[in-house]
């Protein structure tokens, strides 16, 4: 599987820490020192997930030089679909990708990496030739905007990567690892609301809906700084890749302190750690492709560059992938 194109899209509205402090008891210094976040994007009513994801997807197609009809597969990694029955088919229709099968994959902040690995398996079998992997989330829908422990963290966005089958020697997915631990699921949830209504005497049904995001921040932080270095160490050893051969560290953008801790563990200089957390916050499944597209388009990531990537979060789930960028520059 070769990674040959990237694209991204974010809402027009940027909500700064200072503006957010007009609603909740917080301030710019408190947020920055604990998270590294300075602002986040918030979707307007005319910017549903389908619109953002389609914009990112079209940009990736354009970057790869593909027609939508070239696609065999569209995978949408999201935890905030426009339709619980599936949003990927809407994107397929909006793109005009009439030959592609399209479906959603849910793994929260690990979602894009899990979807990229899944797409790689279809391409490796030879049953499909070209795929579009999209990570997109709008967690502004599900944040309690009066809870300062969570509302400061999350933002909206979308990113996409175009991938195609290729000879093994030219592959861009050089190795991967995936993990889940449902025993720690309660650390970060977007759970169904526990509301029921009586239909008939003795018969009740649950009312559809979800409660706001709930997170045990300390436990999630401890989980990330322990498990992410461990899975990347395992991956690098399995592929025989010394850390000093990496061009970039591309992690899920959750907290700057997590990025710094992982980089320190592998003695990777800060200038080789990709981070746009300050501008966008945690966009869940969108963070990795959004960051990758930014770094490709500004020239930091060049063809042939080697990237160690990790996604981690709700589930709890986490994974790592060793990637080589093959696509063109902007």
Q: Is residue 196 flagged as an active site residue?
A: no
Task: Concatenate the DSSP letters of all residues of 193-258 into one string.
Answer: P--EEEEETTEEEEPP-BPPPEE-HHHHHHHHHHHHHHHHHHHHHHHT--GGG-SEEEE--S-HHH
Peptide bond into 316 cis (omega under 30): yes
Q: Which of 109, 151, 187, 255 is catalytic?
A: 109
In order of 64, 121, 167, 179, the CA distances from 173 in angstroms are 17, 10, 12, 17
Q: What is the CA radius of gyration of the chain?
A: 19
Q: Is 109 a catalytic residue?
A: yes
CB 214 within 8 A of CB 182: no
Spatial separation of the C-alpha atoms in residues 79 and 191, rounded to whole Å: 11
Give catalytic status of residue 99 as yes or no.
no
Residues 6+ apart with CB under 8 A from 224: 254, 255, 258, 312, 318
Say whether 7 sits in a helix, a strand or coil. Answer: strand
Out of 17, 151, 187, 252, pick the active-site residue: 252
In the set 63, 187, 255, 282, the catalytic residue is 282
Which tokens hold the place of 292?
A: 């990758």
List active site positions. 109, 252, 282
């Amino acid at each position: 599987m070769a990674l040959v194109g990237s694209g991204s899209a974010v809402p027009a509205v940027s909500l700064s820490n200072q503006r957010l402090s007009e609603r909740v008891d917080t301030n710019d210094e408190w947020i920055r020192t604990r998270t590294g976040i300075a602002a986040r994007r918030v979707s307007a009513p005319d910017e549903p997930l389908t619109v953002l994801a389609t914009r990112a997807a079209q940009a990736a197609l354009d970057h790869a030089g593909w027609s939508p009809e070239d696609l065999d597969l569209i995978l949408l990694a999201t935890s905030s679909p426009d339709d619980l029955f599936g949003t990927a088919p809407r994107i397929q229709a909006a793109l005009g990708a009439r030959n592609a099968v399209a479906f959603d994959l849910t793994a929260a902040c690990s979602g894009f990496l899990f979807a990229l690995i899944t797409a790689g398996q279809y391409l490796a079998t030879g049953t499909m030739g070209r795929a579009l992997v999209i990570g997109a989330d709008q967690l502004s829908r599900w944040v309690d905007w009066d809870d300062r422990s969570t509302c400061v963290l999350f933002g909206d966005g979308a990113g996409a990567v175009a991938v195609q089958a290729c000879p093994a020697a030219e592959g861009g997915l050089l190795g991967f690892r995936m993990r889940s631990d449902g025993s720690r699921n309660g650390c970060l949830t977007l759970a169904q609301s526990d509301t029921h209504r009586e239909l008939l005497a003795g018969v009740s049904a649950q009312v559809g809906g979800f409660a706001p995001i709930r997170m045990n921040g300390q436990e999630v932080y401890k989980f990330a700084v322990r498990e992410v270095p461990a899975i990347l160490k395992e991956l690098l050893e399995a592929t025989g890749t010394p850390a000093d051969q990496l061009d970039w560290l591309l992690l899920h953008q959750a907290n700057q302190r997590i990025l710094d801790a992982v980089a320190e563990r592998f003695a990777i200089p800060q200038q080789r750690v990709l981070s746009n957390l300050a501008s966008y916050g945690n966009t869940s499944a969108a963070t990795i492709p959004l960051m990758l597209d930014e770094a490709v388009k500004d020239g930091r990531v060049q063809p042939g560059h080697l990237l160690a990537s990790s996604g981690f979060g709700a589930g709890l789930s986490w994974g790592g992938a060793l990637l080589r960028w093959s696509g063109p520059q902007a």
